[in-house]
Amino acid sequence: MHPPSIQKLINLFSKFPSIGPKTAARFVFYLLKMEEKEIKELVNAISEMKEKVRLCDSCFKPFEDELNKNKLCEICKDPRRNKAIICLVENETDLISIEKTKKYQGLYFILGGNVSALRKADFKKLRTEELLQKIKNSNPPQEIIIALNPTIDGEATILYLERKLKPFNLKITRLGRGLPVGGEMEYADQETLASALENRR
């Protein structure tokens, strides 16, 4: 129904996370209305981002390094950060969510891979080997916080990682459960409620 060059772009945008063909079509019509100058700005921003950004050798956080001189991101290089704690997160977004709380002073490690549709093959997409190398090579951390979502997929990943980390004899912790801000006891499951009681303060 659409002209081929429009359909092709719809197909490409449909692969973007959480985007279906209807929203993808709206993107294309939005681009169609954009002026040449704005299109250039977008295309250049994409290229520039791909050129400038690299992943930190230690935690895999994306950071900008135009001259290709640095191997570590600004968090891993920061001398005020507590190197004895490593917080494992699924992706960049979760890392930023934790940073925004301003309550965490340790380091991170981005596991990558899509935990949210977990099959055996998905475990391979996690940076498990890189994590184990990091623990072996450096001064071993005192604590690993596995900061994954308390969903079914997240729990499966937590169990997998706990098994892999067990031989190193580290303190391994998970995020505390409880009622979130705005939550209501009436709709909470028993496990959440039990944790909320246990973690009372």
Closer residue to a second copy in complex, CB, 97/138: 97
Pairing of β 171-174 and β 143-146: parallel
Closer residue to a second copy in complex, CB, 77/136: 77
Minimal distance in Å, beta carbon 22 to a second copy? 7
Minimal distance in Å, beta carbon 194 to a second copy? 4
Q: Are 195 and 170 in contact (CB under 8 A)?
A: no
Closer residue to a second copy in complex, CB, 88/135: 88
Minimal distance in Å, beta carbon 73 to a second copy? 9
Residues 6+ apart with CB under 8 A from 118: 153, 156, 157
b/e per residue 70-91 (b: at least 16 CB within 10 A): beebebbeeeebeeebbbbbbb
List the Cα angle 112/116/122 in 5-degree steps. Answer: 60
Closer residue to a second copy in complex, CB, 45/129: 45
Q: Both tokens of residue 175?
A: 């995020």
Minimal distance in Å, beta carbon 118 to a second copy? 14
